[in-house]
Amino acid sequence: MAKKESPEQTGCPEGIQTNFRNNMTYGDYLQLDQILDAQNPLSNHHDEMLFVVIHQTSELWMKQMIHELQAAIQHIVSDNIASALKMLSRVSRIQSQVIQSWDVLSTLTPAEYIEFRNSLAQSSGFQSYQYRMIEFYLGRKSTPILEIYSHKDEVKNMLEGALEQPSLYDVAIQSLAKGGFHISSAVLERDWTKPYKADEGVEAAWLKVYQDVNQYWIYYQLAEKLVDVEDWMQQWRFRHMKTVERIIGFKRGTGGSPGVPYLRSTMEHSFFPELWALRTKL
């Protein structure tokens, strides 16, 4: 009679579920069949798989960022800033993950990338609608950019919704006004579809917060979380720009963008300008 193996020998701990004929598995819950079947390189080059996986995982992280930013905006509007702080902290942690992914992609050499670059045709990361959503939620609005998505009504409508609503920074400024700080009506009632421009009154309000941290602790925390998000965003932009320069130099992007010069220009933009300017005046 064969000796029965112990759980340690079989590698299956005692009591572990093994019958999944009528039960949901880990793979079922995560829909791994669909996710892991979504990597379909168009060339026969080994390194295209890396290129696909990096960009797909970045899009998944951006989906979570959008989820957190939407909720943070709603919490600030509802005067629940404390809950928004947790979500903004999570956004920053996600940003750090996406930044690290550029380090992996930078293992792709120019000679390797050129072997499958033509397979991309006119597709480009510049067309990422989730990245546009993040920019819109952070306040960098642009109506002309919507033309890129005119072939997909659902995507364009979603972007238009984000374009037309107050950004994360707009609702933070509205919260300052509700907290008793003087904010001009020109700021509080501005056209949300336009990019935010720095305002002296807003800077004065944030400066007052930083000059009396104890009294305005919740606004101080909110301000620092916003600075964290922008700081990581700039690092994300920088790593993106340097990775592109490392792999393709100053060639134009596959979608027709100027490539490195365009990416470099984005680093000159500030989402929350007053929060940076006040540091010189403290």
For residue 149, say whether it is annotated as part of any ligand binding site: no
Per-residue DSSP letters for 191-208? -TTSPP---HHHHHHHHH
For residue 151, say whether it is annotated as part of any ligand binding site: no
For residue 129, say whether it is annotated as part of any ligand binding site: no
For residue 51, say whether it is annotated as part of any ligand binding site: yes
Question: How far is residue 22 from each of residues 17, 29, 33, 248, measured CA to CA in Å?
Answer: 12, 13, 18, 51
For residue 104, say whether it is annotated as part of any ligand binding site: no
Range list of β-strands (E), the chain: none
The closest alpha carbon to 94, from 115, 113, 70, 67, belongs to 67
For residue 55, say whether it is annotated as part of any ligand binding site: yes
Torsion of CA 212, 214, 215, 219, to 10 degrees: 80
Looking at residue 282, its amino acid is L
User: Does an H or E element contain 243, and which?
Assistant: helix 217-248
Q: Which two tokens stand for residue 5?
A: 């193996």
Question: How far, in Å, CA of 52 to CA of 40, rounded?
Answer: 8
Question: How far, in Å, CA of 47 to CA of 9, rounded?
Answer: 39
Question: How far, in Å, CA of 156 to CA of 71, rounded?
Answer: 21
For residue 25, say whether it is annotated as part of any ligand binding site: no
Question: How far, in Å, CA of 141 to CA of 48, rounded?
Answer: 33
Q: Which residues are annotated as a binding site for heme?
A: 240
Q: Which residues are annotated as a binding site?
A: 51-55, 113, 117, 240, 254
Q: Which residues are annotated as a binding site for substrate?
A: 51-55, 113, 117, 254
